[in-house]
Structure 1
Amino acid sequence: MTENPHDTLQEQTFYEQVGGEETFRRLVHRFYQGVAEDPLLRPMYPEEDLGPAEERFTLFLIQYWGGPRTYSEQRGHPRLRMRHVPFRVDRAAHDAWLARMRVALDELGLSPEHERQLWDYLTYAAASMVNTEG
């Protein structure tokens, strides 16, 4: 008895459907290229090199979307709001973050359905990080 390919697709995680680790590494790398040039966002990354932040964000997204759980194994529970408390995240930072992410996401060339699903999550996540009026 052969499996229906449609059933197999349904069983795949979003992570697998969009191309796995390579896709998330491309997304986050392109995003951090934008962050490095952004006068509002760059100061929120105190490390000299953006590499460690890029790696953390990549591993987080990989885990969130159904890939390996390396992020939690290395860092524990994500606690995203808590980790962002030291930084002033206002509406301007929110908008800058989303603008940089929009460029990175557009360059992936995902299917419209996958692109919309990922964008919906990213806009929700960005809004939930806002911790300062203005």
Structure 2
Amino acid sequence: MTSDEQLLFERVDGEAFFVRLVDRFYAGVVADPVLAPLYPPDDIEGAKARLAGFLVQFWGGPTTYSDQRGHPRLRMRHAPFVIGEAEREAWFRHMATAVGAAADAGELSADDEARMLSYFHRAAEHMVNAPGAGSGT
């Protein structure tokens, strides 16, 4: 099996990698004036667990997320929140910082860093449900 055929989940430190990535991401989110209001403070740990579980599954790990929550339905699950350009940019900035920190720590190859950033950029674009709206406009 070549590196490209091997699942990213297997190339990194499995679930532990995604937990660290999500912890890095949320460190920025909870301090961000645009994003913090979208995350109930009493459910940060739940949000972290859901995102880590989704990413584990998406990148080739166990299907625990879908087993417990069903199909991800990301747009539907985010529909109650106004997500405009400001929210998209802030979300991607914090995720890109988390991915970059993982790469800087030697946890992620340059190719995998690029793959992840490409996916997260597309995902951030896909979540926008209020173009021209949101905190920054």
Structure-2-length-normalised TM-score: 0.88
Question: Match for residue 44 of structure 1?
Answer: 38
Structure 2, gaps ≥5 residues long: 133-137
Structure 1, gaps ≥5 residues long: 1-6
Give the 4+ runs in structure 1 shifted more than 3 A: 8-11
> How many angstroms does 1:52 deviate by?
0.2
Question: Match for residue 131 of structure 2?
Answer: 133
Which string of whole-angstrom CA distances, capped at 9 and with x for unpartnered residues, describes residues 35-69 of structure 1? 11011101111242410000000000000011011
> How many angstroms does 1:18 deviate by?
2.1
Question: Match for residue 24 of structure 1?
Answer: 18
Question: Match for residue 63 of structure 1?
Answer: 57
Query: What is the SS of the residue equivalent to 1:78?
Result: coil
* In 2, Cα distance between equivalents of 1:11 and 1:124: 22
* In 2, Cα distance between equivalents of 1:126 and 1:77: 18
* In 1, Cα distance between equivalents of 2:70 and 2:41: 21
Q: Which of 106, 119, 122 lines up with 1:121 in the alignment?
A: 119
Structure-1-length-normalised TM-score: 0.90
* In 1, Cα distance between equivalents of 2:112 and 2:128: 25
Residue 77 (str. 1) matches residue 71 (str. 2): yes
Residue type of the partner of 1:52?
A: G
Aligned residues: 128
Please give the residue correspondences for 1:94-109 in structure 2 after superposition, counting only pairs within 5 Å: 94-109=88-103
Aligned-residue sequence identity (percent) comes to 49
Query: What is the SS of the residue equivalent to 2:42?
Result: coil
Query: What is the SS of the residue equivalent to 1:39?
Result: coil
Cα RMSD of the aligned pairs, angstroms, is: 1.3
- Distance change in 2, residues 1:115/1:50 (3 Å): same
Which string of whole-angstrom CA distances, capped at 9 and with x for unpartnered residues, describes residues 3-59 of structure 1? xxxx36455211111221111111111101111101110111124241000000000
